[in-house]
């Protein structure tokens, strides 16, 4: 399957397609079983993830904590320098 079709499907699920892109995708989905299957699967996964997100709440400030921890880690290039 062409990457452009995959990108159209992903953008449609994320509500990022223009009306023209949505029409183009609709036409593709009407004629391409593989694209239909991928669209269905990705839509299903997206809905399940939304459901999971609503089932629990992350502790306040968790995003900031994770970002700080990531910032503390050496970058890939720094790891190579340490190994030398």
**Of 28, 30, 33, which is closest to residue 5 (Cα–Cα)?**
28
Q: Tell me: the pLDDT tens digits for 49-75?
A: 888 776 677 788 887 888 888 888 766
Banded pLDDT at 80 (limits 50, 70, 90): low
pLDDT of residue 4: 95
Does residue 81 have a pLDDT over 80? Answer: no
pLDDT of residue 12: 95
Q: Tell me: the pLDDT tens digits for 8-50?
A: 999 999 999 999 999 999 999 999 999 999 999 999 999 988 8
Count the domains in the chain. Answer: 1
The domain in which residue 24 lies consists of 3-83
């Amino acid at each position: 399957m062409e990457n452009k079709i995959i990108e159209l499907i992903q953008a449609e699920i994320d509500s990022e397609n223009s009306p023209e892109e949505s029409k183009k995708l609709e036409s593709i989905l009407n004629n391409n079983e593989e694209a239909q299957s991928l669209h269905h699967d990705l839509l299903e996964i997206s809905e399940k993830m939304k459901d999971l997100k609503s089932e629990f709440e992350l502790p306040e400030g968790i995003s900031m904590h994770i970002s700080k921890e990531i910032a503390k880690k050496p970058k890939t290039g720094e790891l190579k320098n340490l190994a030398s």
